[in-house]
Amino acid sequence: MRFNTDPPVMRAVRRLAASACRDEGASEIEAGLVGMSLGEALANACLHAYNNGIGPVTVDVEYLRPRMILSVHNHGSPVPDTTTVPDAQPDQESRDWGLYVIGRVMDEVEIERSPHSDHGTLIRMTKYLTLP
């Protein structure tokens, strides 16, 4: 999916990803965690890549049983090379809370700069679904 970081659109995409999880047999809790994580990644794109503005993002949702893999790629300002998901709870004033939350609820998280230019960041999040 390609769209802009417009809040109503981001909410709809987050709900769509959670619905895709439920369609594959995920619990309401797992679907909610996936949706929340996607929302945080999109909010990070809006805040950091586009300086709290609107810009283009691409979201890919892939299901490889039992893994739900979400990739969010923005085309704005890239993250520093050293950006990782924080292991420890950030300070209250920190801007790393979104990544911290994503790291706590998703099973795998990767963050990389775009290899094709000095614009853009990719965040790939994987959740292993507990299926019936």
* Residue-wise pLDDT tens digits, 76-117: 988 766 577 878 887 877 766 888 899 999 999 999 887 666
Decide: 76 and 49 in contact? Cβ < 8 Å.
yes
Q: What is the pLDDT of residue 82?
A: 57
Nearest CA to 34 out of 19, 56, 49, 50 is that of: 19
Please enumerate in sequence order all residues whose Cβ is within 8 A of that of 31, keeping only pairs 6 or more positions apart, or say none.
Answer: 18, 19, 21, 22
Q: Does the domain formed by 2-128 have CATH 3.30.565.10?
A: yes
Write down the residue that tokens 């659109």 correspond to: 9
Q: What is the pLDDT of residue 96?
A: 67
Q: What is the pLDDT of residue 116?
A: 64
How far, in Å, are 25, 31, 34, 51, 86 from residue 125 at the CA level? 18, 13, 9, 23, 14
Q: What is the pLDDT of residue 100?
A: 87
* Residue-wise pLDDT tens digits, 14-66: 999 999 999 999 999 999 999 999 999 999 999 989 999 999 999 999 999 99
DSSP string, 13-58: HHHHHHHHHHHTT--HHHHHHHHHHHHHHHHHIIIIISTTS--EEE
Choose between 67 and 81: higher pLDDT.
Answer: 67
Q: How does strand 121-128 pair with strand 108-113?
A: antiparallel
What DSSP state is assigned to residue 7?
H
Lowest average pLDDT, out of 2-6, 43-47, 70-74, 76-80, goes to: 76-80
Q: What is the pLDDT of residue 73?
A: 93
What distance in Å separates the CA atoms of residue 84 and residue 101, rounded to the nearest whole number? Answer: 13
Q: What is the pLDDT of residue 77?
A: 87
The pTM for the full model equals 0.90
What distance in Å separates the CA atoms of residue 91 and residue 52, rounded to the nearest whole number? Answer: 21
Q: What is the pLDDT of residue 68?
A: 95
